[in-house]
Structure 1
Amino acid sequence: MADYVNQRRRGWYFEIEVPEKLRPYYDGKKRIVQSLRTDSRSTAVIRAKPLAAKYKAEFEAYRTGTSPLSADFMATVLEWRQDYQKAAADPELRMDYDDILAEQAAKLARVNPNHAAALPGLVRSEFILTTEHLDAFVNVQKQRVEVKTADMRRSDVLEFAKSFPTTDKITQKAVKRWIVELEGRGVQHATIKRKLTALRTYWQFMQDAELMEREDNPFLNVLSGDRKKRAKTDSTGSWEPFTDAQVLGLLRAAESKRKPDHQLADLIRLGMWTGCRIEELCSLRVSDVYEGYIQIVEAKTRKGEREVPIHAELAPTLARLVQQSSDGYVLSGLDTENKYGSRSSAIGKRFGKLKIAEGFGPKHVFHSIRKTVVTILENAEVSEGIVADIVGHEKQTMTYGVYSGGTSLPRKAEALSKLRYAGWTGADAHPSIPRAA
Structure 2
Amino acid sequence: MADHIFQKKKESTWYVRLDIPEGVRPAFGGSRVFLRSLKTARRSEAMERRLPWLAKWKAEIRDAKERKALLGDAWREELHAQSVEQQKNKERRILNLFSKAQTSATGPVDLSWIEGLREVVEGFIEAGRPDLAEKVVVTFQHYLDELPNLNPGSGAQLVEKMVAFFGEIEASVTADEYELSQEETEEAMRIMADHTVYKPRSPITQKRIEAFRLYQERKGIEPKTIDQMSRRVDQFSKYLNETGKPVSFDTVSAYLDQLTDKAGNALSSKTKKQHAWSCSSFWKWACKHDVDWREQYKGQPNPFADHDYPTIKGEAVSWDAFSKGDVEHLHALAVEKKDQPLADLIALGAYTGARLEEIGRIHRDNLTFKDGVPISFSITEAKSAAGIREVPIHPQIADLVSSLLEASPDGYLLPGGNNKYGNRLDSLSKRFGRLKTAAGFGKEHVFHSIRKTAITLVHQAGADVAVMPGLFGHETGMITFDLYSKGPSLEQKAKVIGLLSFAFP
- For normalisation by structure 1, the TM-score amounts to 0.67
Question: Letter of the aligned partner of 1:286 in structure 2?
Answer: R
Of 239, 255, 264, the residue aligned with 1:163 is 239
Tell me how far apart the structure 1 counterparts of residues 471 and 390 of structure 2 sit (CA, whole Å). Answer: 7
Cα distance, 1:364–1:219 mapped onto 2, change above 3 Å: farther
- 1:81 Cα offset (Å): 3.5
- 1:285 Cα offset (Å): 0.5
User: Does 2:262 match 1:182?
Assistant: no
Cα distance, 1:98–1:170 mapped onto 2, change above 3 Å: farther
Of 201, 208, 214, the residue aligned with 1:139 is 214
Cα distance, 1:3–1:320 mapped onto 2, change above 3 Å: farther
- 1:378 Cα offset (Å): 1.0
SS in 2 for 1:385: coil
SS in 1 for 2:334: helix
| Alignment correspondent of 1:361 | 442
User: Does 2:341 match 1:263?
Assistant: yes
Of 324, 329, 338, the residue aligned with 2:412 is 329
Superposition CA RMSD, Å: 4.4
User: Does 2:33 match 1:39?
Assistant: yes
Conserved 8 A contact 2:353-2:455? yes
- The 5-angstrom pairing of residues 100-111 of structure 1 reads 100=184, 102=186
Tell me how far apart the structure 1 counterparts of residues 303 and 4 of structure 2 sit (CA, whole Å). Answer: 47
Cα distance, 1:409–1:47 mapped onto 2, change above 3 Å: closer
Of 174, 197, 209, the residue aligned with 2:277 is 197
User: Does 2:319 match 1:239?
Assistant: yes
- The 5-angstrom pairing of residues 259-408 of structure 1 reads 260-289=338-367, 290-291=369-370, 292-300=374-382, 301-331=384-414, 333-335=415-417, 337-408=418-489
SS in 2 for 1:314: helix
- For normalisation by structure 2, the TM-score amounts to 0.59
Tell me how far apart the structure 1 counterparts of residues 2 and 230 of structure 2 sit (CA, whole Å). Answer: 37
Question: Letter of the aligned partner of 2:326 in structure 1?
Answer: Q
Cα deviation 1:46-65 (Å, max 9, x = unaligned) = 9999xxx9xxxxxxxxxxxx
Size of the aligned set, in residue pairs, is 354
Conserved 8 A contact 1:377-1:416? yes
Tell me how far apart the structure 1 counterparts of residues 498 and 176 of structure 2 sit (CA, whole Å). Answer: 87
Structure whose CA Rg is larger? 2
SS in 1 for 2:386: coil
Of 74, 77, 81, the residue aligned with 2:72 is 81
Tell me how far apart the structure 1 counterparts of residues 60 and 358 of structure 2 sit (CA, whole Å). Answer: 61
Cα distance, 1:302–1:188 mapped onto 2, change above 3 Å: same
Cα distance, 1:132–1:397 mapped onto 2, change above 3 Å: closer
Tell me how far apart the structure 1 counterparts of residues 441 and 3 of structure 2 sit (CA, whole Å). Answer: 65
Tell me how far apart the structure 2 counterparts of residues 280 and 361 of structure 1 sit (CA, whole Å). Answer: 24
Tell me how far apart the structure 1 counterparts of residues 3 and 244 of structure 2 sit (CA, whole Å). Answer: 33
Conserved 8 A contact 1:6-1:14? no
Conserved 8 A contact 1:203-1:217? no
| Alignment correspondent of 1:172 | 249
Question: Letter of the aligned partner of 1:153 in structure 2?
Answer: M
Conserved 8 A contact 1:275-1:391? yes
Of 261, 286, 295, the residue aligned with 1:206 is 286
Tell me how far apart the structure 2 counterparts of residues 100 and 362 of structure 1 sit (CA, whole Å). Answer: 55
- 1:103 Cα offset (Å): 6.8
Conserved 8 A contact 2:245-2:251? no
SS in 1 for 2:390: strand
Conserved 8 A contact 2:375-2:392? yes
| Alignment correspondent of 1:223 | 307
Percent identity, please. Answer: 26
Conserved 8 A contact 1:271-1:369? yes
- 1:264 Cα offset (Å): 1.8
Cα distance, 1:46–1:369 mapped onto 2, change above 3 Å: same
SS in 2 for 1:307: strand
Tell me how far apart the structure 1 counterparts of residues 6 and 420 of structure 2 sit (CA, whole Å). Answer: 53
Cα deviation 1:386-410 (Å, max 9, x = unaligned) = 2223222223444444444433333
Cα deviation 1:342-399 (Å, max 9, x = unaligned) = 2233332332232223222222221111110011101111111222232222234444
Tell me how far apart the structure 1 counterparts of residues 461 and 230 of structure 2 sit (CA, whole Å). Answer: 46
Question: Letter of the aligned partner of 1:388 in structure 2?
Answer: P
- 1:307 Cα offset (Å): 2.8
Tell me how far apart the structure 2 counterparts of residues 39 and 214 of structure 1 sit (CA, whole Å). Answer: 39
Cα distance, 1:158–1:9 mapped onto 2, change above 3 Å: farther
Tell me how far apart the structure 1 counterparts of residues 304 and 440 of structure 2 sit (CA, whole Å). Answer: 39
Gaps of at least 5 residues in structure 1 are: 16-35, 54-74, 107-112, 429-437
User: Does 2:327 match 1:252?
Assistant: no
Tell me how far apart the structure 2 counterparts of residues 405 and 189 of structure 1 sit (CA, whole Å). Answer: 39
